[in-house]
Amino acid sequence: MCEPAPMRPRTHALSHPAHGQPECTPRALVTGILIGALLTPCNVYSGLKIGWSFNMSIAACLLSFGYWRLSGNLLGSRAWGLYENNINQTTASAAASIVSGGLVAPIPALTLLTGREFDWPVLSLWVFTVSALGIAVAAALREPMILRDRLTFPAGVATAETVREIYARGRDAAARVRMLAGAAAASAAAKLAFEIAGAAPRLALPGQAPLFGAPSAAAPPLGKLGFALDPSLLMLGFGAIIGPRVGLSLLLGALIAWLAVAPWVLAQGWVAPDPAAVDWFGPLVQWLLWPGVTLMTTASLATFGLAWWRRRRRHHGRNRQRIPVPGPGFAGAALTALAAAVALQYILFAIPPLAGIFAVGLAFALAVVAARVVGETGIPPIGAIGKVAQLGFGAAAPGNLTANLMGANVTGGAAGQCADLLNDLKCGHLLGATPRLQLFAQLCGVLTGSLVGSLTYLTLIPDPHTQLLSPEWPAPAVATWKAVAEVLAHGLAAIPQGAASAMAVAAVTGALLAAAQHWSAARRWLPSGAALGLAFVIPAWISLGLFLGAAAAALAGRLAPAWSGRFVLAMAAGLVAGESLAGVAAALVRMAAG
């Protein structure tokens, strides 16, 4: 695959560059830690809302550049160097990607299924250990993935190009920083206004949905099914980031799930919601999550399997080049991370050491898969990796809910963190940065993210049993992990009446969509199976908001392509960050008020 050439050629996996410029300075690390601490709550918040997180590398680059440029103008600070900015974004993005460690999926799912809760130090230690294992795997994979196979890693390339552009055209970068800050301020102000008012003024759409097989007088209002316009600017920002294909897929999925399947389920009497309730998301999603999770899982696994098969055919018969192995320092760090992961599984969750070693070994194997998919497509298959890990533990420790969730947390979390961190290493490779210093920055970022992310989760969700899987906190990733664990532990008895047939249809649909996207020339027009399934487990108003954001960004790109290319991503990042941080601040105020 083609990629921009690095600023300086690299020959060894952990060699030192000859640029002679300041790189891992104290202010670079501190800036990255502070920005990471600021951005980590955004990903925890959005992960619990819609199950997705945002790569914060570019936002971190812009924020640090804006701050140090202002500091230079006002205080005469030394110029903020390109390599310092790279260390900053490496630290900040590693912190913000801490959600891969399980904070918005297996950990809440374990609480819902077993009642097990964690205090801040224990939760931080667990998340840090899982993520540190991901750093060890990323260090091992840098040589084969980035230097030998020269995989693209689109997010890393985009960050490197942004850094280069910032230092080539500083005035334009300053304008993007102002756009990001203005959007964040507007989004935060709107969120705080809604908090003060007591609720967001969600506007329910008029009309009724069809209720198949029942009198028309019993047809449910669209508002009860979640069809409403929500004033959340975070949803508009995320919609602009995900793009039109995923946005349209979410809209289609919402129409299928909440306008067709939900009325049919009501007509069959399989769900009987309270007529006086404002909306029926809670009872309906307990049924709809089963076909939704099935669709997401089969689409993700089939896509992953077909990509692996294509790569095997493409590279069949090629001579394998020997890969240089990092030195003893890396080996010692990797063994320490491995031992800590195995020990904590046993100490905290009574997972036998052999099963813990199995989790770590599977993490290395699946990290290779996740890294290659991210490197070639830019899309992290974290959902699919998590399901593979759960299936592996379902076979290794059948009926053990805790082992299934937390062993798979080690596997999926380390693999996901590894894929995220390789984007940072790719950016550093293109810029000519020092890998050892980047790995140290990633470790600092992961430590920051573990502490801040765990505190954010415990602050936002003090009572998981009543807060999660609700209209306020749909937590689709939690629903997915919980459902898979229940089926693996209890079999088909865990599935609600009538859901098995819907799951079969969803499984076939997901596989067919994956196959069509693999072989069809019209793949860009086909809906995303993962997004279709996601729409089954989040309220319809969230899907509508994401679609509107994607449509607005696409329209801006068509009407004003130059302006859109410069500012849409910065604006979207600001909208996400502003509402997220305001939501976390409001939760802190409520907690302090008792």
pLDDT per residue as tens digits for the range 140-173: 888 887 887 777 777 787 778 778 877 876 677 7
Per-residue pLDDT tens for 422-455? 989 988 998 888 888 999 999 999 999 999 999 9
Tell me the C-alpha distance between 45 and 460, whole Å. 8
d(CA 161, CA 86): 12
pLDDT at 10 over 70: no
Tell me, yes or no, if the pTM score tops 0.85.
Answer: no
Contact yes or no for 542/147 (Cβ under 8 A): no
The dihedral sign for the CA sequence 24, 27, 33, 38: negative
Phi, psi at 101, each rounded to 5°:
-75, 0
53 touches 102 (CB < 8 A) = no
Q: Which two tokens stand for residue 351?
A: 């997972």
Helix ranges restricted to H, 169-243: 170-197, 233-242
pLDDT of residue 464: 93
In whole angstroms, what is the distance from residue 302 CA to residue 583 CA?
A: 37
Determine the 3-state secondary structure of 468 from DSSP.
strand
Q: pLDDT band at 126, cuts 50/70/90? A: very high
Beta bridge partners of residue 229, listed in sequence order? 203
Radius of gyration of the chain (CA): 23
Please give the structure tokens belonging to residue 135. Answer: 């750093």
Q: What is the C-alpha to C-alpha distance for residues 228 and 139, in angstroms, rounded to an integer?
A: 46
pLDDT of residue 559: 94
